[in-house]
Amino acid sequence: MHISFYFNTVDFLALKFSRSHKAFAVRYILVALACAALPGLASAQIEDYTFGAPPPGKLMSKGEASQLATKHDVKDRTKLALELMSIRLTKAEEFSTKGEFQEMYNELGAFHALMDNTLDFLYDSSRGRDKNLDTFKRFEMTLRAFAPRLGVIRRELPTEYDPYVRNLIKYLRDARSRAVEPLFGDMVVPNRRT
């Protein structure tokens, strides 16, 4: 119904009843409008919100953890971690094409765990040292190559798996930013005299 109808009704009631009745009529009409609008708002909210699958556990396998623990050199460990991440992402792509989305989801959780672990390791190993900056750069460049692959996986997902993969892509972008931050420290390099 149109709002003008309600205002015409209020004017009609004003002519028939006293001022106190007019206030009551206005309140009654406002409550009626609110009650009429509530079911429409509730159904719109339910349609907009999709229930997603719970996020997978960010767990890497014991074999991956032991392989990473054996590497003490920062560059070697980062290379190994990037290889393991690539393997996990390749498996996730295979599961996605087969339609085995729960297995794909678990692979992405392990990928996420490896990314977090590697970034934390790089920050811990480079405290106060600039010699690992090329390792940060290598890590960021490889993460950049992973982003389109995650986008392809996301394109073919059912809607319940989409929220986590979308957040993983955002987290990958944030991890790339964190990996680049040490390259742009606050130290000023003096000009060379020629």
Domain ranges of the chain: 3-48, 62-184
CB 168 within 8 A of CB 150: yes
- In terms of C-beta density within 10 A (0-12 exposed, 13-18 middle, 19 or more buried), how is residue 44 classed? exposed
Residue appearing with tokens 């014991």: 62
Average pLDDT estimate for 156-164: 86
Q: Please tell me the predicted confidence (pLDDT) of residue 44.
A: 45
CA distances from 101 to 19, 54, 105, 140 (A): 65, 13, 6, 27
| CB of 74 closer than 8 Å to CB of 136 | no
State yes or no: pLDDT of 45 exceeds 50.
Answer: no
Helices (H) and strands (E) in the chain, counts: 7, 0
Q: Please tell me the pTM assigned to this model.
A: 0.67
Q: What pLDDT, on a 0 to 100 scale, did the predictor assign at position 183?
A: 75
Predicted confidence band at 180 (pLDDT cuts at 50, 70, 90)? confident
pLDDT at residue 47 in the model: 39
Average pLDDT of the residues of the chain: 79
Q: What is the mean pLDDT of residues 60-69?
A: 90
